[in-house]
Amino acid sequence: MPLDEKEVEHIKNVLVNTKISLAQNDAVKLKELSNLTLHRASIEQDPGSITIAVVIYTLSKLIERDDYKRTDNWPRFLKKFNAFIDLAIDAIEKQDKEDFNAHLAEARKTLESLSLNMKPYIQEVLRKASINKASKIYEHGLSLEKTAKIIGITQWELTDYIGQKASPDLKQNLTLSAKARAKTAMEFFS
C-alpha cells in the first residue's frame, strides 16, 4: 500500500533533520526525532520506521556520551551514513519501500562498523536502543510477542526492561495485602 503524501513528507523531515542534528551533535534533537517515528512503527509495524527509531536513538546516545569522539573516522562515517540517508529519502519519494528499507539497513550497518575497537560497544548500544524502542511500541498497545518479533529481540529482554522501568507508584504495580486480596476474591465470586 503506497504511503500518503503527508507520511512521505514526515519521513523525509525526520531524515533531513537527523542529518542536521548529527552535524550539530545535538543528542536531544536526535532523541526527539527517534520518538517521532514510534507512532508509525506501532501502527504500521513498518521495518523502516523501526530501523530509523533505533538508529537515531543509538546516534543520540553516542553523541550524548561523547563516544563519537573516540573514533578517528567519525567524519568519514557521517559522509557515508548521510549518503545512505539521502538514498533512503529518494526511495521513499518514489514510494519504493524495498529500496527505502535496504538503504536504512545499510545506514545501520555503517553505524555498526563505525570503529573496530568500539564495535562491541556500539552493538550493545544498538541492542539497548532496540529494547528501549520496543518498550515504547509496546506502550502503544502492540502485544509483547509481536513487539519483540518486529524489533528482533526476545520477549524476555523486553519483559525484563519493562519490569525494570515500571514505576512502583502506579496502581497496577502495588501489591495488595492478604486481607485485601481475600476481600477482592470474595467480591468476585459473589
Percent of the chain with pLDDT over 70: 91
Q: What mean pLDDT do residues 113-125 have?
A: 84
- Rg, Å, the chain Cα set: 20
- Work out the mean pLDDT of the chain and round it to a whole number: 85
pLDDT digits (tens, 9 = 90+) for 77-95: 999 999 999 999 999 999 9
pLDDT digits (tens, 9 = 90+) for 167-178: 454 444 456 677
Give the separation between CA 1 and CA 181, rounded to whole angstroms.
Answer: 50
The pTM is what? 0.77
Whole-number pLDDT of residue 175? 60
- Whose grid coordinates read 536502543? 129
